[in-house]
Structure 1
Amino acid sequence: MEVIMYTFNMIPPRTSGMALMIVAILIPFLISIFLGIDLYMLKHVKYNIDRNELQIKGGLYKRVLSKDELDLDSVSIVDLNNKMDLAPVIKRNGIGLPGIKEGWFKLRNGEKALLFLTDTKNVVYIRTLKGYALLLSVSNPEEFVKKLRAMG
């Protein structure tokens, strides 16, 4: 019995192999640049409080929240090493590197939260009336909480 084999070639891509190689090299390079810019911006996050609003400036997730959007009674300073129910467990969108967490996370208690964390010991927790919480690393958390509560 004679075996007959037919071979067919795939139609070559319209772009050259060189173009595909350039794209394959550029994508990781662009991601690295984007990550570097975000890490730089994260080092320069500032929290501004005035009589009517909290402004989060810097990073990718800037926010302006009026005092009416904040649950000022929920404001507290927490140590995430001891208050495990507020610990971030699932990253939804953002950066989750050792020592830096920025973006949308799900907390152990199931709550959705926007994080700007570089320290887990002195974290300011703020529940918003928009369906999520804020977890913020602040250089002077006691004074920050005092100024936030004065908004109300």
Structure 2
Amino acid sequence: MLAIALLLGPVWGVLDWALRRQHLALGTDGLTITTSFYKRSVPLSGLKLEQARVVNLAEHIDYKPRLKTNGTSLPGIKSGWFRLANGNKALVSIRQGERVLWLPTSEGYDLLIEPVDARQLIDHLQQVASGRTPA
């Protein structure tokens, strides 16, 4: 019993750390998404901001993560690479919420993320991309 506890303790610690690792950062080089074991930076020029939208996953089921290709899917969190119901490849970082930001990229995948205020993030990204606001 002690051996199992000693073995599973570090595993549990790493999983706990990874699942709490949810972060969005906007810098001069673009948007960086950090989620569990995954981190990806997308230049602002690679974001299709004109197509971005806030979606309710209960209503727009085409955007729901369906097939986990390299990620984590536990109750209350989906993180990593998924295929959406519409067939698109996506980097997903969502928790409990139904309202998420769908942001396509020119790099062959979509972003499905759950910022605190998705509409405000879209507006800010559009302002930064147009040069009206510093990152």
Is TM > 0.5 for Structure 1 vs Structure 2?
yes
Distance 1:32 1:50 in 2: 32
**Residue identity in the other structure for 1:64:** S
Length, aligned pairs only: 129
Partner of 1:79: 56
Rounded Cα–Cα distance in structure 2 between residues aligned with 1:25 and 1:119: 30
- Secondary structure of the 2:49 match is strand
Between the aligned partners of 1:58 and 1:78, the Cα distance in structure 2 is: 20
Question: In the alignment, is residue 55 of structure 1 matched against residue 36 of structure 2?
Answer: no
Moved more, 28-37 or 96-105: 28-37
User: What's the CA shift for 1:63?
Assistant: 1.6
Gaps of 5+ in 1: 1-22
Counterpart Cα distance in 1 of 2:34 and 2:80: 13
Determine the C-alpha separation between the residues in 1 that align with 2:10 and 2:56.
36
1:130 to 1:47, Cα distance in 2 relative to 1, 3 A: same
Measured in 1, the distance between the counterparts of 2:72 and 2:35 equals 14
1:38 aligns with 2:15: no
1:129 aligned residue: 106
Assess, with a 3 A threshold, how the Cα gap between structure 1 residues 102 and 76 changes in structure 2: closer, same or farther: same
Question: Using the alignment, how far apart are the partners of 2:13 and 2:70 within structure 1?
Answer: 18
Change in CA separation of 1:27 and 1:105 when aligned onto 2, cut-off 3 Å: farther
Distance 1:57 1:103, change over 3 A: closer
Identity of aligned residues (%): 30
Q: CA RMSD in A?
A: 2.3
2: CA distance, partners of 1:96 / 1:30: 20
Once residues 79 and 109 of structure 1 are traced to their aligned partners in structure 2, the CA distance between those partners, rounded to angstroms, is 15
* Rounded Cα–Cα distance in structure 2 between residues aligned with 1:50 and 1:122: 24
* Alignment equivalent of 1:96, drawn from 73, 77, 85: 73
Measure the CA separation in 1 of the matches of 2:46 and 2:7: 39
